[in-house]
Amino acid sequence: MVWEKESDNYVIPSYASVKIEGQNSALAGVDGVDKYGYAKINKDKIAISPNGDGYYDELIPSLYLFRSAKSMSVDILDFDNFATNTNYSKKDIKVTGKVSAKTKTLKIAGNDVEIKDDRSFEADVKLNEGVNIVTVYAADKDGNELANYGVKIFCDVTAPVITLTSPSVNGGVINASSHKLELKGTVSDNFQGYEFRINGEEVIKYENDAKFGPKVNTKEFTKELNVNDGDIITLKAVDLFGNEAVNKYTVKINPSLGVSVDNVTDGGYYNKDVTPNVKYNADLYDVTITVNGQPYENGQTITAEGSYTLAVKSVLKGEDKPQGIQEYKFTIDKTAPVVKINGVENGKAYNKDVLPKIDVEKGAVVTSITLDGKAYDGSAIIIVGKHVLEVTAVDLAGNISEKIVVFNISAPKPEDPNKNPGNSQDKPNPGNNQSKPGTGNTSSSISDNSKKPVNVNNTNGINNKVANANIPKTGSMVNATSILLASIMLIVAGVAIINDKKKKASK
């Protein structure tokens, strides 16, 4: 920069304010002096861009006081693609540009950058998502600092999020009940803002430079559309960095969605009359109703037992397709389930153990089995006395059956010792071995006539079962013990009778 005249005095130039890389700066743009000796300001030299990229570049240094001189030089750092408040949609960027001839050292983001012979450079910079401050440092060959500042830039690689809350979507398909469809949902972004469109029409446009994140920029939307079967609906959101989210849905018009059926469910069982009620807007839909293939008058009560299929066909008013079809299969069953108890009969008595077997009709389940008021485990019943077996069952329609069997178990009768063919007390002694008074051997007679009764009902195992069973302390053990004592008393009585007869015979 050449001065118009030399002077030994100090010259204080004027200041010029200009935005450099988006920031206000006071930089020298001195171009000679006026007639009063004050510096002239040439605005064209305040900010220059030799490569024509449109970015303002810093002038180094910014001089506030000049001494008389014939010329002045400045150093320039010129970036091709790097400036304050620039937005990047990727985390790895390559910074390029040129430096002045005086610049010998250059660092970007703390890393040394090679300066080529033509004074160009390029540097790889890694960004974090959000706000980044990238440092720039330059020095001459003597180590004098030429530049040392930070560049604030933004990075966002995440697309906005579109959430459709209504209607429901199944496999990319929106089922509509008619040609009118209302969309509801939200849009959010992780950074500064976005533009949201439905089928190309702008619905939301939002920017916020002060606060970032989905907590502040989530917005709701509601949009009513006219649709036809097979239409494609496109929801698109693009953020300020160019990241975009696109959701596409196919419309399937299903008139059944506008028709509802009350008082009956598909697969239902009922133990009472059924009155299906089909609800719909007659101004929007034409509906046909049948039961088991026959026309059905809506609201008519069905009373007979049996299986039924209620079919509801619907179309939009004045149209023949698409057609919605709903089917409800149900059963009316008012009859209680059949319960059978085999192995024991009501009112009968048994002198052996019994093992009941319970059967119910298909579809019914047994809900309760009790023996004498207590839960029954299905094992053989061996306890002597009166018993009450009660079974409860329920079918699919909720009908309940109760079956009660009352029976008795008594002790087996022992055999009469006098009818034993092996008893020789009434027969003459062929060997003339009849005992004499005082010398008769009665041990043999007692032994022969003290045999246990024969178990004609094959219940030999009962006593063992009683002894080994876990019998409740309710008197059952007393009954078993009484049977044993009674048997022993009968044997003793029989022995006493035999001895008495022998004594009489010996007299």
Residues 167-181 pLDDT 10s:
999 999 999 999 999
497 CB-side CA count, 13 A? 14
- Taking 3-state DSSP, the helix, strand and coil percentages for the chain, each rounded to the nearest 5, stand at 10, 40, 45
pLDDT at 413 > cutoff 50? yes
Per-residue confidence (pLDDT) for residue 45, from 0 to 100: 52
State how far the alpha carbon of 361 is from the alpha carbons of 217, 342, 366, 403, 495, in Å.
Answer: 64, 14, 10, 13, 57
pLDDT of residue 412: 74
User: Is residue 255 helix, strand or coil?
Assistant: helix
Q: What pLDDT score was predicted for residue 215? A: 85
Residues 435-447, mean pLDDT to the nearest whole number: 35
Task: Give the dihedral sign, CA 101/104/108/112.
Answer: positive
pLDDT at 204: 96
Contact (CB, 8 A) for 333 and 316? no
More confident residue, 506 or 178: 178
Q: What phi and psi values does residue 477 have, to the nearest 5 degrees? A: -65, -35
Largest pairwise CA distance in the chain: 183
- Which of 348-357, 410-419, 476-485 has the highest average model confidence (pLDDT)? 348-357
pLDDT of 353 over the 70 cut? yes
- Average of per-residue pLDDT across 446-471: 34
How many angstroms separate the Cα of 285 from the Cα of each of 258, 296, 317, 321? 8, 17, 5, 11
pLDDT at 464 over 80: no
Query: Closest by alpha carbon to 274, among 242, 306, 228, 238?
Result: 306
Between these two residues, 29 and 84, which has the higher pLDDT value? Answer: 84
User: Is the confidence at residue 421, as pLDDT, over 70?
Assistant: no
- Would the pLDDT of 15 be above 70? no
The mean pLDDT of 456-474, rounded to a whole number, is 35
